Structure 1
Amino acid sequence: MKRFVGTVLVAFLVAVAVKDVGAQATSADSLILYPTIILDGEYVPHIKIEDVLKVGKRRFKSRREMSQYYRMIYNLKKTYPYAQIAKYKLLEINENLKTLKTDREIKEYINRAEKELRNQFEKDLTKLTISQGKMLIKLIDRETGRTSYELVKELKGGFSATFWQGIARLFGSNLKTKFDPQGEDKILNELVFLYEQGLI
């Protein structure tokens, strides 16, 4: 008799569990649909997994090297947001330029956009150190795919680009500097990825 009662209880619990699972599966709130592919005649969920960068524990040869590494992280946190702003502002400017027809309208728009950017960011950007400025030039190239020199030349003309390049050279910078993710800027590129993931 105990065995029969136990079997009935188990059957009852299974029926309740199946009912709950069925209710959950049909509930619009808990139903999750994934894209699928057919593999060997069966439907298989196809989920894109984000890239993962595996970075081992960094070992330093000296205190100086360790100090430079942490200084690079500090400078990245200061400059990367400005590189992102440059990227989105450039996209916005390019979209707006498509709607303008005459050279005069284009020139007025660029001057207005430059004035707005100066009012908004000039005070903060002048506080950057020379090494932060050099990093920002590289990050702008990374984010936009064009050097700062090319951007100034495109928007303000060759004379302005040459003038600002001359000023940059006086302070030991170069607006034509490119971002080199496989060479000189490999560590910086890793740090950018970690920063984007919120890991530093």
Structure 2
Amino acid sequence: MKISQKNIFGTNIVMKYTNKLFAFINKFLFVDFKVIKLKIYFLCLFSMLFFPNTFAQEPVTEQPVVPSYAVMEKVIENGDTLFIGYIRDVYIYPPIVFKNRKQEQFYWRTVRDVKKALPYARIVSSEIARVNRDLYYLPSDAERKKYLKTFEKEAFRKYEGGLRKLTVNQGKMLLKLIDRECEINTYDLIKAYKGNVPAFFWNVVAHFWGSDLKMDYDGGDKDRIVERVVTLVDAGQL
């Protein structure tokens, strides 16, 4: 998914909603240190949800969801009745040989964190597609602004509680998986919306909590274990 600098709502509207987003995050940052980690998660997740029009100007075609069970069809050929079942693909990987207990614990923590963070990364992609479709049919800027305001309240109401429950490691995993799903890291996201200085500032804040907004997802190398886990989770094998 490629990001575009074009904004059909105008720079003023983007800045207005971006400032509201940062005000919300700052409230968590300075009021309660127990929830300080939320600023990073909200930043990457809701910045994409609130401004989806800057991500894609073309309609998004949804892919069919493979069911977790076999769906039977009855087909009659030459007088014979055939039952056809559609099942998921099965992925076979070489067995993992853990050198020690620490490696094994790391692997199962990765499985846990992927299962927690992956749904939120998928939310970003699905919401971008949904909002773009809705905005396409709204005839005026006033109606689009009204729609985005309503959507903003709905997004916070729906996702705030779940994000509060994420651990620091699950928040880092969320950053990775958002880059996987949307093909852009969080640093570049902020840079596109707010410029170089805010992107630098928020990355410094992230470093205090052991994270890096510039980190890119590399499923073929450094994140190959994560990619393996995501594949197996999607296939229902984990």
How much does 1:95 deviate? 1.9
Count of residues in Structure 1 that have an aligned counterpart in Structure 2: 159
Paired residue for 1:97?
135
Paired residue for 2:218?
180
- Look up the equivalent residue of 1:131 and give its one-letter code: N
Unaligned runs of 5+ in 2: 1-75
Alpha-carbon displacement from aligned partner over 1:133-171 (angstroms, at most 9, x marks no partner) = 0101111111122333455666xx316x74755654443
Q: Structure 1 26/69 Cα, relative in aligned 2: closer, same or farther at 3 Å? A: same
Alpha-carbon displacement from aligned partner over 1:37-68 (angstroms, at most 9, x marks no partner) = xxxxxxxxxxxxx8764311110111101110
Q: Secondary structure at the match of 1:70?
A: helix
Paired residue for 1:80?
118
How much does 1:180 deviate? 0.8
Please tell me whether the aligned partners of residues 218 and 224 of structure 2 are also in contact (alpha carbons under 8 angstroms). yes
- Look up the equivalent residue of 2:77 and give its one-letter code: A
Please tell me whether the aligned partners of residues 83 and 139 of structure 1 are also in contact (alpha carbons under 8 angstroms). yes
> Is 1:58 matched up with 2:110?
no
- TM-score (normalised: structure 1): 0.65
How much does 1:177 deviate? 2.6
> How far apart, CA to CA, are the structure 2 residues paired with 1:29 and 1:145?
46
Q: Which has the higher contact order (CA 8 A, sep 6+)?
A: 2
Please tell me whether the aligned partners of residues 137 and 147 of structure 1 are also in contact (alpha carbons under 8 angstroms). yes
Bigger mean CA offset, 71-80 vs 107-116: 107-116
Paired residue for 1:138?
176
- Look up the equivalent residue of 1:185 and give its one-letter code: D
> How far apart, CA to CA, are the structure 2 residues paired with 1:99 and 1:147?
29
Please tell me whether the aligned partners of residues 180 and 217 of structure 2 are also in contact (alpha carbons under 8 angstroms). yes
Unaligned runs of 5+ in 1: 1-23, 33-49
Task: Give the alignment's Cα RMSD to 1 decimal.
Answer: 3.1
> Is 1:193 matched up with 2:213?
no
Paired residue for 2:166?
128
Aligned pairs for 1:112-123 within 5 A: 112-123=150-161
- TM-score (normalised: structure 2): 0.56
Percent identity of equivalent pairs:
36
Bigger helix fraction: 1
Please tell me whether the aligned partners of residues 141 and 147 of structure 1 are also in contact (alpha carbons under 8 angstroms). yes
Q: Secondary structure at the match of 1:79?
A: helix
Q: Structure 1 111/54 Cα, relative in aligned 2: closer, same or farther at 3 Å? A: same
- Look up the equivalent residue of 1:179 and give its one-letter code: Y
Please tell me whether the aligned partners of residues 25 and 31 of structure 1 are also in contact (alpha carbons under 8 angstroms). no
- Structure possessing the higher radius of gyration over alpha carbons: 1
Q: Secondary structure at the match of 2:96?
A: coil
Which one of the candidate residues 83, 105, 113 is aligned to 1:67? Answer: 105
